[in-house]
Amino acid sequence: MENCKRLAFEVMMKALCFLFASAAFVSAQLPTAKPIPRVQAVPMPHHITSFQLDGRELTAMHFDPLDMRPFCHPIRASRDVSLTRMGHPHDPLTHSHHNSVWVTHNLVNDLDFWGDYAKKQGRIVNVEVSREGYEDTDEYASMRMVNHWISEADKAIQLVEVRRTEVRPLDGAKSWFMIVDMEFTPPKGKTTTFGATGFGLIAVRMAKSIGVHDGGGRILNSEGQVNEEQIFRKPARWCDYSGRITNDADGFGGITLMNHPMNPHNPTAFHVRNDGWMGCCLSLDTPVEVAEEKKLRVRYALWVHDGVATQEQSEAHWKRFIEMPVIDLNPPKPVKK
């Protein structure tokens, strides 16, 4: 028995010595090497930034200037299936503007930035990813961009938008926030109006299998109302769309779209459809004017989650969202020494 114990002890000590020697060897190879941040915003070819957790993509920002608008796709929780899709499952042509997760508006200075085939068409064009626009940490990754909202006819700028998109895991890939901060400024000396409409400012097209009609999914808002019949254009703090994404017993997931109290209306109306999309209304009944001295600053979040969210879970995450510090989109530039 004593021989066995001694042998086991010797084996353990040799293993420990090997580990320490290996660590020392690695350290000796490059002692200045820094740990890799767990959450990264990785620039990719063709105007794409991939948001990754431990090397696995959660979502990607697409901002090709030839597109009608920037958008995020896919949106993944713990499974490699997107919770969102591109386009309407039954009308891909006239609903080609349903770009997974996107920011836009139906009526800006009488221009339509919502659709893709309007008579008075607008387009949102990325003109800059800021010099210090990417941030990678163990807690979150972010990307800062500048977009011009222009008239397609004469390319005249209607709005200058500064946008910061942050991906912040809460429980690995099973639960994470996408936080979208935006500031809108009109061209110098002008006023820009977001007209009264239910379409805009931020929207989500869910995967076909999550839709109420196609997949038997469920929409739930902060007031306890369920599905389009009860929720359509009703005020709420948040709205969740959950449903099945795989045939596993626990193959469910969803997204809670959240409005922030700093926005012009809170609670705000949510435009939802049983065919699989939801949007947070900026100016349903009341136009919103933007001027040089009155910039529009808004903040939204998406809570991406495994499972079918309960009202208590979505409410708790909304409270967590609104308690977070609001980011300064235009911090003072460091003084050069």
Nearest to 255 by CA among 194, 305, 320, 220: 305
Burial of 110 (0-12, 13-18, 19+ CB in 10 A): exposed
What pLDDT score was predicted for residue 160? 98
d(CA 116, CA 328): 32
What pLDDT score was predicted for residue 23? 46
Q: Which residues of the chain have pLDDT under 70?
A: 1-27, 334-337
What pLDDT score was predicted for residue 89? 94
Alpha helices, DSSP H, located in 206-336: 212-215, 227-231, 311-322
Ordered DSSP codes for 74-112? EEBSSSSSBSB-BSBTTBTTTTTT-BSEEE--S-BTTBB
What pLDDT score was predicted for residue 286? 95
d(CA 26, CA 5): 32
In the 8-state DSSP scheme, what is residue 208? G
Tell me the residue length of the chain: 337
Q: How confident is the model over 232-270, as pLDDT tens digits? A: 999 999 999 999 999 999 999 999 999 999 999 889 999
What pLDDT score was predicted for residue 287? 97
What pLDDT score was predicted for residue 107? 98
What pLDDT score was predicted for residue 285? 96
Cβ atoms of residues 263 and 140 within 8 Å = no
What pLDDT score was predicted for residue 86? 98
Q: Just give the CATH number of 39-322.
A: 2.70.98
For the chain, domain boundaries = 39-322
What pLDDT score was predicted for residue 19? 42
Q: What pTM, to 2 d.p., does this model score?
A: 0.90
Q: How confident is the model over 76-88, as pLDDT tens digits? A: 999 999 999 999 9
Cβ atoms of residues 122 and 139 within 8 Å = no
Q: Residue 215 — φ and ψ, nearest 5°? A: -120, -5
Residue 69: which residues within 8 A CB-CB, separation 6 or more? 97, 99, 102, 103, 104, 113, 123, 124
CA distances from 170 to 66, 138, 178 (A): 34, 11, 11
d(CA 78, CA 73): 15
Give the dihedral sign, CA 45/86/179/105. positive
Q: Find tokens 């085939």 and name the residue.
A: 117
- Angle at CA 207, nearest 5°, toward 305 and 259? 55
What pLDDT score was predicted for residue 46? 96
